[in-house]
Amino acid sequence: MKAYITPHDFPNLDQETKMLAELGVELELINSVDPKVIAEKAKDGVALFVQYTKIPQETIEQLDQCKIILRYGIGYDNIDLQAAGKKGIYVSNVPHYCGDEVADHTLAFMLTAARKLIAINAGVHAGGWSFMQHRPIYSLARKTLGLIGCGYIAQKVASRAKAFGMDIVAYDPWLAQDKAAAMGIELVSLEELCARADFVSLHLPLSAETYHFVNKALVAKMKDSVIIMNTARGALVNAADMREALLDNKIGMICLDVLETEPPEANHPLIGLEGAILTPHSAYYSEESLPALQKMAVEEVARVIRGERPLSPVNLKWWV
């Protein structure tokens, strides 16, 4: 039997190769992102590992032997879930591998933005020794953090923010009130969150309903000083609207680890703009998180190959 993996940026595939070999499965690299090439090469595979490559319907329809498509990571908008479900192929993600890293990154965004660290640091390196020109500079204590989406990672953000003395509100129609209350999180409507939050952090999946979720209309409901952070999916944010909001002083700052197109074009609306902190989709990474991701990924695939149910399927809605 064979399993296939599309182009990736892992240093090695030792864990995957070893565990699959124990099941009599050989792992082979498909060194192409072309849907037709992937379909042709992977048509005899029992599993397909995917990091960033798009896997559309035209590819999935040719995967006659495939039992599972494994997406390395949390988001899965690069895979046609409906086509896979109708084909009888599980699509699984790895939802719990980098929660601490992304939560740490979100807190780093908050501290960097609130304390104006980038501008102050640049001033000192340029020979200055003043910070007053960079006001307003905020404390996190007694400020309100608004979480749009309150799942695994957002809850880790909340626990860290509580340690800084912040109040936490969240908009999440699927989170039970008693569970939120036990974590010190107040569930509110989206409108109330926007009105109250000093910081807004996005923790939503990307879908047709959440595309450009943060746009001019939503910003109009927020405080003019709000700091917006996104470590989820790039297309949740309308970057052109955020540029306009920054230039019109309708938001305080925006901090993005993910962009709609990665890497961005040189003329991206937020590149070079004061008030925008951008990192290159690095929130997930630590020296510990990458091997953990690979281990959890191949364990999920191994379960399905053994005839067991996967732990984190994301396409059962369309399962045949």
pLDDT tens, position by position, 136-192: 999 999 999 999 999 999 999 999 999 999 999 999 999 999 999 999 999 999 999
203 and 68 in a common domain: no
84 and 103 in a common domain: no
Question: pLDDT-based confidence at 320, cuts 50/70/90?
Answer: confident
Query: What value does the mean pLDDT take over residues 293-308?
Result: 98
Task: With a cut of 90, say whether residue 319 has pLDDT above it.
Answer: no
119 and 22 in a common domain: no
303 and 198 in a common domain: no
268 and 125 in a common domain: yes
233 and 151 in a common domain: yes
Which domain range does residue 32 map to? 2-97+287-318
226 and 174 in a common domain: yes
115 is catalytic: no
Of the candidates 233, 243, 268, 300, the residue annotated as catalytic is: 233
Task: With a cut of 90, say whether residue 317 has pLDDT above it.
Answer: yes
262 is catalytic: yes
Query: What value does the mean pLDDT take over residues 195-203?
Result: 98
C-alpha angle 192-223-152 in degrees, rounded to nearest 5: 55
172 and 216 in a common domain: yes
CA pair distance 30, 5, nearest whole angstrom: 6
The mean of the pLDDT values for the chain is 97
179 and 69 in a common domain: no
The enclosing domain of 141 has a CATH number of 3.40.50.720
179 and 212 in a common domain: yes
132 and 268 in a common domain: yes
What is the count of structural domains for the chain? 2
CA pair distance 260, 282, nearest whole angstrom: 15
51 and 191 in a common domain: no
Query: What value does the mean pLDDT take over residues 98-109?
Result: 97
Q: Is the pTM of this model over 0.85?
A: yes
SS3 label, residue 90: strand
Please, which residues bridge with residue 86 across strands? none
